[in-house]
Amino acid sequence: MLAGILLALIAGALVSLQNIFNAKVNEHTGSWTTTTLVLGMGFAASLLMGLIMEGKNMFTLQHMQPWYWLSGMIGVGVVICLVQATRILGATYAISIVLTSQLGFALLWDSLGWLGLAKVPFSFNQLIGVLIIVGGILVFKLGGARESRA
Amino acid sequence: MRGILFAFLGGACITLQGVANARISQDIGTWQAATITQLTGFIMALAIALMVRDGKKHGFRKSKPLYLTGGAFAAFVIFSEVTAIQNIGVTLTISALLIAQLCLTFVIDVRGWFGVAKQKMKLPQFIGIGMMILGVVVLKF
């Protein structure tokens, strides 16, 4: 379990760095141009890491389903939603809602065991835990006049 | 109201992305999943970028090369996130991920690293981080 938490923390730290770097690029160009670069870099890095770690096996896609190809479009949906939400609400409120929604759906999908992932049974502890975290996010984001960034 | 809906859907999509990647990884492997999903995302974003043409000329050249590589982190983000989801479930993964994300952003803001405008630490941010960690403890035990 500790390994899982550690990996999640690493992922979060990298997301933070990536958001800052991407915002810096975005200062000089448009959000679609930035998104194209970001996804292109991500693709190249994933391909490279896959080749290093797995060699030729990288290209044997067992049990490949057609919809897997389409899942990349979710990322495009993310960009559209975040850009629009930030434009309408401002960064602080937009990000507060985005983070809350992220956690809410995480709890929902764990409880449903959706897409064939291991089901994590819903418990009252989980709900209380998520509500406390959401409370923390709101205090963090809305308390004091900070300029906001995710 | 529209802004709230966009933000709500955006959050749903971010979590869905993690869940979908975890599912796809079960079948074809994690690096393969990261490569394929970002390839299709890249193609779509490129098509949109070519249509809206929002990029200013020489925009990339004005950015520091380091910042242009930010996207490459996604390979490791996806790998870590997928492995974590498979080990500890979606809720705990997203909770820990968000705490690390907010804490590091906070430190960078306070220190003014990467040329971001420096910001003062305030009590609400400490209370917020404390509550988030408490929430994870309650979530798990």
- Tell me the per-residue pLDDT of A2-54, one tens digit each, with 9 for 90 and over: 899 999 999 999 999 999 999 889 888 888 999 999 999 999 999 999 999 99
pLDDT tens digits, one per residue of A46-100: 999 999 999 888 888 888 888 898 888 998 999 899 989 988 998 888 999 999 9
- Answer yes or no: do B75 and A46 touch at CB < 8 A: yes
pLDDT of residue A149: 60
- What residues of chain A lie within 8 A of the CB of B130, using their CB? 136
Q: What's the number of domains chain B is made of? A: 1
Answer yes or no: do B48 and A57 touch at CB < 8 A.
no
pLDDT digits (tens, 9 = 90+) for A105-142: 999 999 988 887 888 888 899 999 999 999 999 998 88
Prediction ipTM score: 0.92
DSSP for B91-131 reads HHHHHHHHHHHHHHHHHHHHHTGGGPPP----HHHHHHHHH
| 8-state DSSP, A69 | H
* pLDDT at site A142: 87
Contact assignment for A140 to B66 by CB distance below 8 Å: no
Pick from B23, B96, B128: which is nearest to A12 by CB? B96
Q: What is the dihedral of CA A79, A149, B21, A4, to 10 degrees?
A: 180
Contact B44 A65 (CB under 8 A): no
Q: Which two tokens stand for residue B12?
A: 């749903």
All structural domains of chain A with their residue ranges: 1-59, 68-150
Give me the mean pLDDT over the B116-128 stretch: 85
User: Would you call B42 and A43 a contact, using CB atoms and an 8 Å cutoff?
Assistant: yes
Nearest-angstrom CA–CA distance, B87 and B83:
6
Nearest CA-CA partner of B24 in A46, A88, A117, A30: A117
* Residue at token pair 């679609």: A32
Nearest Cα of chain A lies from the Cα of B17 at a distance, in angstroms, of 6
Whole-model pTM: value is 0.91
Residue numbers in A near B2 (CB within 8 A): 84, 88
State the distance between the two ends of chain A, measured CA to CA, in whole angstroms.
26
Residue matched to tokens 């990288």: A58
Helix (H) or strand (E) holding A90: none
Domain span at residue B26? 2-140
Distance from CA of A55 to the nearest CA of B (A): 11
- Across the interface, whether the CB atoms of B131 and A133 are under 8 A apart is answered yes
Contact list in A for residue B73 (CB cut-off 8 A) is 14-15, 17-18, 21, 42, 45
Q: What is the pLDDT of residue A150?
A: 56
Q: Say which residues have a Cβ less than 8 Å from residue B140's Cβ, sequence separation at least 6.
A: A129, B92
